[in-house]
Every structure is written in structure tokens, then in C-alpha cells.
Amino acid sequence: MIGTRVEINLDALAHNYRGLRQQVGNQVMVAGVVKANAYGHDMKTMANELVALGCDAIMVATAREAISLRKNGFKASLLVMGATQDDYLEEAVNLNIALTVFTWEQGKRLSEIGKATGKTAKIHIKLDTGFNRLGYKDFQKALEDISGLWTCEGLVIEGLFTHLALKDVESDRIQFEKFDAFIEALEARKIEIPIKHVCDSIGAVAYPDKLYDIVRMGALLYGFCSRPTTFSLIPVMTFKTNIAALKWIEIGEGVSYDYTFEAVRRTRVATLPVGYADGLPRGLSNKGVVYINGNPAPILGLICMDQCMVDVTEIDGCEVGSEVILFDDVLQTANKIARLVGTNRNDILSSISMRVPRVIMRGGKVVEIIDYLI
């Protein structure tokens, strides 16, 4: 396939999963996180592939993501980690989707739905131990609510979790201590919630003695972790395009909007059919590079919504159709691009838009092309 696309390497995904599984051992469950279209890698493909590899559960951020998976035939264990609007509660229960709960009112409503439908609403209670995003901040209130919900018909409290801020070891330690103290308070009331979880990719690597019952793995499975791992990671995604046009410009001529680049020599310019609407950050304008025939080609002028221009004056063999690497695991990583524009790799990966086809690869061969538009 030519044109702007990302290639998704299923062999790299399998490599990363097996390395993680060996590190955490068989006593800890692994959940694959596929929120935000699996960090841009295609949610449905990644969910099915991760379960086939051995993931015990799949986690998403929103009810709509979970519902989409179920409606596309996904059968495995599924948890929504974010807040869920009441409009989606009944459908989630009917589709056997576990939901995150942090209020008495929503827990009670789910119990009523479970009783009315003859199904069991599954919930994970979230505690706020210091991230200050979602979850019970008042632990006494949480304790009383859980005690009440524990005996409600049509409802099962499947899990209890929190999220680390990952500021530093000391602040993480305080969060762990709060979580452990809450577990002890529940146990004093004879309440034993079966699945407890705290660690995401970074947490699981940084705190191997604090894995609890399940670890929530997102970026690490896709080949990225900001902490050193005991095994090698291979990025799963490669972002590519092809040269659409070539032209020479003379000294003093400008490129793109506002002429933020003006040629100081005779310059050969390649136009690429990829822009910020595809996921190439506009912040790379005049400072990023792409790679053609293994050589860096500087981005010239402002990146447009749908196209950008690069300098190929010094690159031999450039022609219309030549392959262009925007990022990969060798020449230029998503981490490098993220540093250039002042963000993180998850932002770069998840910003690859729905108009960019996903080319699914295994064993060096294309097994599927996912085009969201046609």
C-alpha cells in the first residue's frame, strides 16, 4: 500500500506481551488497555490480538468504546475505567461490561438495573489516593457505600483500584499506603473484593512488589515505557507516507503559509500527503525531519492540515512515490517527535487520525488493511 498509513506490527506486540508476562509472572493477571483506539493502533484489532496472546481482560476509558467492542463480537472480560453517564448503564449491564463506580447513587442504580434485567451489574470501585481525577476522596464515605453495595442484589463488586500520579517514589508510597489501609478497613468488615489493581505500565515496571491482582498495560504493550524494563521493547507502530510531488525553488522563494521558511539556496522540495489532521504535529514545522532513503529531510515551513513540504536537495533517488518514514523504531521514534513538540509519546500515537489506514502486519506480510473511511 502507498499513501499515508500506519503499519501495525503484530509480531512486535507479541514480543512486548511475552516480555511483560515473563516479568510479572503467572500469579498476576494482565489487562490490555485499548482506550483511544488502542493508542492509535486500532482498538478492535488490539483487543482481539491481546486476548489471543493471553491477556486476562481488556480495559477502555469510555462506555462507548466498550459498547463498540461488544457490538463487534468481542466476548472477553471488559472494564470501563472512566466515568459512565447514566444513559449507558443499562446497555453496559446487558452487554456484560464492568463499570467504574465512585458514588452510592450510581452503584444503587446499577443494582436496580441488574435486578430488573435479571443480569448482574459488575463494578470496580475507584479510590482517589492522590491523583485527584476520579474516585472516592472521602474514604469513610467509600467504606460505608461499599458496605451497603456489597449486599445489594443484581450487583457484584468485582474490583477496587486507584491510579498513581507517578510524581516520585515518596508520593507513590503514600498512595500505596492509603490503598493498603483501605483494603485492611474493608477486610475488618469481612469484605474481600477479589480484584485489586493500582499499576499501569510505568507502575508495574517501577514497583514489581506492588502488582496486586492485575496490572493495566497500555503503552508498554505498544512498545513504550519511560522507565527501564528488564526486557527489550519494540514499538508496534510505524507511520509512513510517500512523496506526492517534487519541485525546485529558487533563493528567496517561500514555502507554505506565511513564508516562515524562505530558501537561501536553490532547494528541491518534496510535498507529502500528510498533515496535522493526520497526526503529524504542527509543532514540527521548521524543526522536525522525516526520513527518505534513510536520510533526514527537514520539514520546510508550516505543516498544513493535509500536507507538508520537506527539503530533499541532498537526498539521492527521490522521486514521486518514494517511501517516507515519519516515525518508526529505528530512524526516528515517536518519543523523539514528542520531545520536539513538548508532549509525550501517547499524545503522538493516539493523535493518528481515523483517516489514516491501519495496515496490519504479521511475519512481514500484510494480513489486513483497516480503512475507517471507505
Q: Half-sphere exposure of residue 56, counting CA atoms within 13 Å on the CB side?
A: 13
Q: Is 276 a catalytic residue?
A: no
- Phi, psi dihedral angles at 315 (to 5 degrees): -105, 115
End-to-end CA distance of the chain: 15
Helix, strand or coil for residue 227?
Answer: coil
CA 112 from chain center: how many Å? Answer: 33
Residues 6+ apart with CB under 8 A from 62: 35, 80, 82, 84
Catalytic residue among 17, 35, 39, 88: 35
Catalytic residue among 257, 259, 287, 372: 257
Integer CA distances (angstroms), 277 to 25, 100, 257, in order: 41, 32, 16
- Phi, psi dihedral angles at 171 (to 5 degrees): -70, -35
353 contacts 1 by C-beta, under 8 angstroms: no
d(CA 105, CA 352): 37
Q: Is 35 a catalytic residue?
A: yes
Task: State the pairing for strand pair 57-60/289-292.
Answer: unpaired
d(CA 35, CA 41): 10
Q: Which residues are catalytic?
A: 35, 257
